[in-house]
Amino acid sequence: MDKINVGIIGATGYAGAELVRILAGHKDVEITVLTSRQYAGINFNKIYPAMEGIIDLKCEEYNQTTAEKADIFFLALPHKISMEIAPRFVAQGKKVIDLSADFRFAEPDIYEKHYQKHLAKELLKEAVYGLCEVYVNKIRKARLIGNPGCYPTGALLPLLPILKSRLIRPETIIIDAKSGVSGAGRSLSLTSQYCSAAESFKAYKIASHRHSPEIEEILQKEAGPSASITFVPHLIPMSRGIETTIYAQLTDNRIEEKHILNNLLSYYKGRHFIRVCKDRIPDTLAVRGTNFCDIGAKIDKKNNRLILLSAIDNLVKGAAGQAVQNMNIMLGLDERIGLDNAGYSL
Amino acid sequence: MDKINVGIIGATGYAGAELVRILAGHKDVEITVLTSRQYAGINFNKIYPAMEGIIDLKCEEYNQTTAEKADIFFLALPHKISMEIAPRFVAQGKKVIDLSADFRFAEPDIYEKHYQKHLAKELLKEAVYGLCEVYVNKIRKARLIGNPGCYPTGALLPLLPILKSRLIRPETIIIDAKSGVSGAGRSLSLTSQYCSAAESFKAYKIASHRHSPEIEEILQKEAGPSASITFVPHLIPMSRGIETTIYAQLTDNRIEEKHILNNLLSYYKGRHFIRVCKDRIPDTLAVRGTNFCDIGAKIDKKNNRLILLSAIDNLVKGAAGQAVQNMNIMLGLDERIGLDNAGYSL
Amino acid sequence: MDKINVGIIGATGYAGAELVRILAGHKDVEITVLTSRQYAGINFNKIYPAMEGIIDLKCEEYNQTTAEKADIFFLALPHKISMEIAPRFVAQGKKVIDLSADFRFAEPDIYEKHYQKHLAKELLKEAVYGLCEVYVNKIRKARLIGNPGCYPTGALLPLLPILKSRLIRPETIIIDAKSGVSGAGRSLSLTSQYCSAAESFKAYKIASHRHSPEIEEILQKEAGPSASITFVPHLIPMSRGIETTIYAQLTDNRIEEKHILNNLLSYYKGRHFIRVCKDRIPDTLAVRGTNFCDIGAKIDKKNNRLILLSAIDNLVKGAAGQAVQNMNIMLGLDERIGLDNAGYSL
Amino acid sequence: MDKINVGIIGATGYAGAELVRILAGHKDVEITVLTSRQYAGINFNKIYPAMEGIIDLKCEEYNQTTAEKADIFFLALPHKISMEIAPRFVAQGKKVIDLSADFRFAEPDIYEKHYQKHLAKELLKEAVYGLCEVYVNKIRKARLIGNPGCYPTGALLPLLPILKSRLIRPETIIIDAKSGVSGAGRSLSLTSQYCSAAESFKAYKIASHRHSPEIEEILQKEAGPSASITFVPHLIPMSRGIETTIYAQLTDNRIEEKHILNNLLSYYKGRHFIRVCKDRIPDTLAVRGTNFCDIGAKIDKKNNRLILLSAIDNLVKGAAGQAVQNMNIMLGLDERIGLDNAGYSL
């Protein structure tokens, strides 16, 4: 098979760099273009020396001819810039996987309430929310993917099967999520400084994070309008990983852990990247550097409350890995290609 | 004033060592005896070289004469051993602050359900739960203190005022707590190894941790029998600190953040170690190495849900610091003595 | 091509686990046996949950029949046990790559001085020191490899070409090496506890580490008997990685940085895993999780002194990765197979 | 005794904030003015919330009247700005402790070679290099202190006594130093970002760091013009601490470890903050948060080479702590006041 040419627009942020890392090891694609405004003209492996000997390609400035240089494009850009650029790629018949929030919302109103005016509403209509294990059939036929946010991925994968099966009450969902520092991106900030982050654990954007409406829209779409969540993200002093602890009232006090686990096992049957944990608890270390989403469940019998847990690598399953998985599905490839590496046990 | 002689039984575990650190800087006491089974005969500053030049005292084995060597004793021992030893100190007229769980429960039945048979029930009756800002009057007159657990301290301080004022529904309380690795103590274990803990964030003892009944007993005592909690602890890849995020349904949808904050400010008026955060979010880094408990609050209006947050240093306010604060109160000293150091901002 | 069957003896220590991780992704081999005394009967992926979905194989106890289960064996055992077991594999015509020190020394006397009585001196004679970029021709024909120590790998790769070319004075070499905590292995110890290691940087085994004679023997063999080193290892608060800073007097004050770099580039021409850094400084982060050895050089003109620097991942190029590279060479495969992954840039 | 009023110019950088932390706990002084260009008008405890309840003072912009507000001033400013401002304080009869490099060099030529044109050469003549244990007598009488750099403190304290006693050859000194990330200061930079620094250990400014001439000038002044060093700093993935490993040839092969240790013990007799380590190795964790400098020594007999080791907290003994110690000495106070806290053992 001829290799498929891929381009990464905004290659030098953390998600972009992770895309480069993964795609450089993907046997069926070739990276033909990397863009970066800040580093145009500089070899990518000068910016990320880990990539020396792995990739040898200069970053270039995005321009009108960029779209000609590949068949499929990943946009790892800030919100707003994505929706300005994406239509041009689509218009030229290119497939696009957008890692920003611009094409994640079915309802432009919700997007506009939490972000800004939407500039590509027509395209938004056809965009597919790229939560691979849930929307695989739509993804297969999509030409534009809104790649899910990191927190939504960690929250939706455990929640959706359980909520759809009406095992929990949709108005009682609380999501307590914790992310490594890379979630804040590569832009310089006091919060991301080593000395501010080390030995610091804290909540932020309490019940006001923009991933909250993203999660809610999908929950409501899949399980009805009553789904309503409280979402509180926290920052962990580590580079990678999201752990999500979800609380909800069970609909019936006869529901046991095994019902929950069987529900998850059944829903995700045959899906390589979902590991339902029967006798262990999801741990960010066990998924570090991989596309796995580990899911666990416990019941607090006394309070008739379910506790769902998940662990993902925010840069892989929560961003670049899921994006590549989306690409694989769109291209009719085995979804595991390029993503089948083992994690580091330490 | 003559210095008061203090002894630490079990001085070489993390809580014991923290007691030594704090008491060595306390102007009104003198450490006269340190016991350690494992390190008997060895100078304490050989075990913890940070203490060289600060304290020069050999560890000795606990024996029948130990009680004669001080006026007040801190027991930093494993559960069970405390209740075997504490009665001997009390019988000799010594004041005792016990850092184990043995004297924390008013109801021996609850203790016995979660720990083991209680061996000193008579003494348990008079023991005071040493949550300083809540039980200061009882502590003043106590001769035996059950020093609160680290998680209970972080959960009860924000919760109690709010629950007592009936601002939240007592049966809806969810406590999502996160602790640094030192909470597991100094005993060797795979979980506490650097390579297992770094880049690892995970829940453990989900809805089954023994601090759960400890929290619940106090909540019920103060606010009625309907208080019932789901408690999920997590491990953070850092040495010190507990962050606690608490969720509960508000009793009235007109309650606003300012009501919550004012309630806390009013309850803790004049209490140096409680910092109610009006315009910042509690962060473990800001309390590291100090006896402060930072408390914050947010309301998720849409779901009529309160989010309470707290941050403490698990080894200070969550153990040794609160123990020294208890001692200060018992001795009629200013509760801040020895505990008024500034935290490290990095 | 049929897959080659490989076995790992002592699979659950850190080096063993890293071998499993790498070999599980090696397209030309199949892991057919994993042994572990401690975890016999337990699935490997229960011990290292990162491996769930990657490998599904029970650990078994080593016994007389183990040798029949594969064609090539990796011994990731403590010193001494390796030399007891290795002869049995060799006698049955198996290839052996030993990660202990037992087959690293050409001179049994040196081994015996620093370790213990050697039990397989005959075999020692034919064993090849598996420093891949230096001894590739011998490795190709070997049936027993003594896989180099982590520190020796990081020190010898930069030093050997320079010393052989007589650019530095052999009696002036000082090696200041720094390793992540995983270098101490998985055995429980106070030093490896998270709370002991975090925020702790210190030297250990100063001028008395057993990797010192290993380095010296190779230097003397390659560049004459006058080579003599001072070797001081340090512990870094991180999981993986060794940085090595080497100091030596230049033989001629006209030698410039470019001569050193060119010497290195020439010596390692065509060797994928050596990255000579011309305009950057070796950094453990850039090699994390990879088999690369990054090498840099600076000259302190005023003192006519060379500073050589290298960075490796102690568990990969410093242990399991180099072991697999040795296997590839022994089997006539491309040495990069299974080892061509990109590192994580964060 | 009336409290002495102190001011901190540039209070919100890391060194400034550490000064605030230490001085807030100093029983004989009162902080009366904090300046900050960036945060003028903002309460210091909003910038460093750890200080809430400890200090309640607004930052103000430095101006002509600042000097009137205190008796002694700490300048925690960037190089160049210090020498512009210091003369104004001195002219008004104030004592000044400058933490920049501007008043550290006796020879303006050396300063100008490595920094920039010196703007206060007259004042430079009388400035005292504030290495407390070495220059205590001069400090006592000084009105302007050039507070030593962090690396120079860690290097000079072990080296000076040994070099002055001619135990090592002055032209053979190699200093391999390692610092926590806070050494880079609070300014935003990619290097200081959590994700760049975690799991990263690397050298920087190899044999070209500006602390090198600072060290050399003092060594030459104290032990003759032949002293010449190679200085290589490295960055450790932790917040605080400097470990320094120093190599030098012994002048006589009969010199033993005990001679070295006795020399150090004798030189630093009675000096509280120097802990000569006879049976342990200096460790950054043991000095974290304290003003101690731990010093150790080993001899590599075979190579007749001395290895000196030291550990300090770069922000305390390497900056703010030594500055306060200088103040204590200048004011005739016990040098330990405000600096006698125990370190954290974890």
Q: What one-letter code names the amino acid at A209?
A: H
Q: Do B346 and D288 touch (CB under 8 A)?
A: no
| Closest residue in B to D285 (Cα–Cα) | B50
pLDDT band at A257 (very low <50, low <70, confident <90, very high): very high
Query: Is 70 exceeded by the pLDDT of residue A326?
Result: yes
* DSSP of B258-327: HHHHHHHHHHTTT-TTEEE-SSS--BHHHHTTS--EEEEEEEEGGGTEEEEEEEE-TTIIIIIHHHHHHH
Cβ neighbours of D190 in A, within 8 Å: 186, 188
Q: Do A195 and D192 touch (CB under 8 A)?
A: yes
- Kindly state the percentage of chain D with pLDDT values over 70: 100
What's the rounded Cα separation, in Å, for the pair C21 and A343?
A: 8
Query: HSE-up of C33 (CA within 13 Å, CB side)?
Result: 19
Q: What one-letter code names the amino acid at A287?
A: V
Cβ neighbours of C346 in D, within 8 Å: 195-196, 198
- Cβ within 8 Å of residue B254, ≥6 positions away: none
Q: What share of chain A is helix, strand, coil (3-state, %, to 5)?
A: 40, 20, 40
Query: Is 70 exceeded by the pLDDT of residue A276?
Result: yes
pLDDT band at A84 (very low <50, low <70, confident <90, very high): very high
Nearest Cα neighbor of B285 from B327, B344, B197 is B344
Q: Helices D211-223 and D150-164, interaxial angle, to 10°? A: 20
What's the rounded Cα separation, in Å, for the pair C241 and C237?
A: 10
pLDDT of D118: 98
Cβ neighbours of D237 in A, within 8 Å: 194
Across the interface, of D199, D228, D284, the residue whose CB is closest to C202 is D284
pLDDT of A1: 66
Q: Do D346 and B182 touch (CB under 8 A)?
A: yes
Structure tokens at B145: 């203190």
pLDDT band at D129 (very low <50, low <70, confident <90, very high): very high
Q: What is the pLDDT of residues D174-225, one digit of tens each?
A: 999 999 999 999 999 999 999 999 999 999 999 999 999 999 999 999 999 9
C-alpha triplet C16, C20, C26: angle, nearest 5°:
140
pLDDT band at A157 (very low <50, low <70, confident <90, very high): very high
CA dihedral C163, C165, C171, C174 (to 10 degrees): -30
C134: buried, middle or exposed (CB in 10 Å: 19+, 13-18, 0-12)?
buried
User: Is C293 a known active-site residue?
Assistant: no
What's the rounded Cα separation, in Å, for the pair C67 and C104?
A: 22
Q: Do B50 and D343 touch (CB under 8 A)?
A: yes
Q: Do D286 and B50 touch (CB under 8 A)?
A: yes
pLDDT of C1: 66
Chain A residues near any Cβ of chain D (below 8 Å): 14, 181-182, 186, 188-190, 192-199, 237-239
Query: D322 vs chain C: nearest CA distance in angstroms?
Result: 21
Chain B residues near any Cβ of chain C (below 8 Å): 14, 181-182, 186, 188-190, 192-199, 237-239
Mean pLDDT of chain D: 97
Interface test with D, best of A47, A189, A195, A313 (most D CBs within 10 A): A195
Q: Do C203 and D305 touch (CB under 8 A)?
A: no
**Per-residue b/e over A163-193, b at no fewer than 16 CB within 10 Å?**
bebebbbbebbbbbbbbbbbbbebeeeeebb
Structure tokens at A306: 């379910």
Query: Is 70 exceeded by the pLDDT of residue A282?
Result: yes
Structure tokens at D186: 């609070």
Nearest Cα neighbor of D319 from D98, D72, D103, D150 is D150
Q: What one-letter code names the amino acid at B169?
A: R
Kindly list the partner chains of chain C, i.e. chains with 3 or more CB atom pairs below 8 Å.
A, B, D
| Closest residue in B to D293 (Cα–Cα) | B50
Name the E strands within chain B.
Answer: 4-9, 29-35, 59-60, 72-75, 95-98, 128-129, 144-146, 173-179, 202-203, 229-235, 242-249, 274-276, 293-300, 305-312
Report the greatest alpha carbon distance in chain B: 63
Across the interface, of D21, D279, D290, the residue whose CB is closest to B345 is D21
Query: B59 vs chain A: nearest CA distance in angstroms?
Result: 31
Nearest Cα neighbor of D305 from D255, D249, D226, D263 is D249
Query: A273 vs chain C: nearest CA distance in angstroms?
Result: 8
Q: Do C193 and B190 touch (CB under 8 A)?
A: no
Q: What is the pLDDT of residues D57-100, one digit of tens each?
A: 999 999 999 999 999 999 999 999 999 999 999 999 999 999 99
- Cβ within 8 Å of residue A58, ≥6 positions away: A34, A41, A42, A43, A44
pLDDT of A255: 98
Confirm if D168 and D228 have CB atoms less than 8 A apart.
Answer: no
Domains and CATH numbers, chain A: 4-126 (3.40.50.720), 151-313 (3.30.360.10)
Across the interface, of D281, D303, D311, the residue whose CB is closest to C230 is D303
Q: Do A344 and C50 touch (CB under 8 A)?
A: yes
Kindly list the partner chains of chain A, i.e. chains with 3 or more CB atom pairs below 8 Å.
B, C, D
Residue D95: phi, psi to the nearest 5?
-85, 145
Find residue B97's DSSP bridge partners.
Answer: B74, B145
Query: Is 70 exceeded by the pLDDT of residue B156?
Result: yes
Cβ neighbours of A186 in D, within 8 Å: 190, 193, 195
- Cβ within 8 Å of residue B157, ≥6 positions away: B131, B133, B134, B274, B293, B295, B310, B312
Q: What is the pLDDT of residues D255-299, one digit of tens each?
A: 999 999 999 999 999 999 999 999 999 999 999 999 999 999 999
pLDDT band at B344 (very low <50, low <70, confident <90, very high): confident
Query: Is 80 exceeded by the pLDDT of residue D1?
Result: no
Across the interface, of D196, D302, D307, the residue whose CB is closest to C206 is D307
Grouping H, G, I as helix, E, B as strand and the rest as coil, residue C119 is coil
Q: What is the pLDDT of residues A31-73, one digit of tens each?
A: 999 999 999 999 999 999 999 999 999 999 999 999 999 999 9
Other beta carbons within 10 angstroms of residue B109's beta carbon come to 9
Q: Digits of tens for pLDDT over chain C (346 positions)?
A: 689 999 999 999 999 999 999 999 999 999 999 999 999 999 999 999 999 999 999 999 999 999 999 999 999 999 999 999 999 999 999 999 999 999 999 999 999 999 999 999 999 999 999 999 999 999 999 999 999 999 999 999 999 999 999 999 999 999 999 999 999 999 999 999 999 999 999 999 999 999 999 999 999 999 999 999 999 999 999 999 999 999 999 999 999 999 999 999 999 999 999 999 999 999 999 999 999 999 999 999 999 999 999 999 999 999 999 999 999 999 999 999 999 999 987 8
Q: Do D50 and B343 touch (CB under 8 A)?
A: yes
Kindly list the partner chains of chain D, i.e. chains with 3 or more CB atom pairs below 8 Å.
A, B, C
State how far Cα C11 lies from the chain centre: 17
Q: Do B194 and C239 touch (CB under 8 A)?
A: yes
Confirm if C201 and C137 have CB atoms less than 8 A apart.
Answer: no
Q: Do A51 and C345 touch (CB under 8 A)?
A: yes
Structure tokens at B14: 């993390």
Query: B148 vs chain A: nearest CA distance in angstroms?
Result: 22
* DSSP of D102-137: TTT-S-HHHHHHHS---S-HHHHHH-EE--HHHHHH
Which DSSP letter does residue C335 get?
T
DSSP strand pairing (A59-60 vs A29-35) = parallel
Confirm if A293 and A156 have CB atoms less than 8 A apart.
Answer: no
Across the interface, of D188, D198, D239, the residue whose CB is closest to A188 is D188
Q: Do C51 and A272 touch (CB under 8 A)?
A: no
Interface test with D, best of C201, C226, C242, C305 (most D CBs within 10 A): C201
ipTM: 0.97
What's the rounded Cα separation, in Å, for the pair C59 and C52?
A: 14
> How many B-D residue pairs are in contact by the CB < 8 A criterion?
96
Across the interface, of C237, C284, C303, the residue whose CB is closest to D202 is C284
Interface test with A, best of B300, B306, B316 (most A CBs within 10 A): B300
Structure-token match 């999500």, residue found: A244
Cβ neighbours of A21 in C, within 8 Å: 342-345
- Cβ within 8 Å of residue C176, ≥6 positions away: C232, C234, C244, C245, C246, C247, D176, D245, D247
Query: HSE-up of A149 (CA within 13 Å, CB side)?
Result: 27
- Cβ within 8 Å of residue C290, ≥6 positions away: A50, C313, C316, C317, C321, C339, C341, C342, C343
Query: D20 vs chain C: nearest CA distance in angstroms?
Result: 23
Confirm if D217 and D106 have CB atoms less than 8 A apart.
Answer: yes
| Closest residue in A to C315 (Cα–Cα) | A346
Q: Helices A211-223 and A150-164, interaxial angle, to 10°? A: 20
Q: Do B309 and A174 touch (CB under 8 A)?
A: no
**Per-residue b/e over B199-235, b at no fewer than 16 CB within 10 Å?**
bbbbbeebbebbbbbbbbbbbbeebeeebbbbbbbbb
What's the rounded Cα separation, in Å, for the pair B8 and B47?
A: 15
Rg (CA), chain B: 20
Structure tokens at C236: 């870094």
Structure tokens at D116: 């920039």
Q: Do D289 and B287 touch (CB under 8 A)?
A: no
Across the interface, of B14, B195, B237, the residue whose CB is closest to C181 is B195
pLDDT of D344: 87
Structure tokens at B249: 């349904």
pLDDT of A187: 94
Other beta carbons within 10 angstroms of residue A258's beta carbon come to 12
Query: C237 vs chain B: nearest CA distance in angstroms?
Result: 8
pLDDT of C165: 98
Find residue B129's DSSP bridge partners.
Answer: B146
Query: Is 80 exceeded by the pLDDT of residue B1?
Result: no
| From C59, C132, C150, C293, active-site residue | C150
Find residue D174's DSSP bridge partners.
Answer: D230, D247
Cβ neighbours of A305 in B, within 8 Å: 174, 207, 230
What's the rounded Cα separation, in Å, for the pair B75 and B99?
A: 6
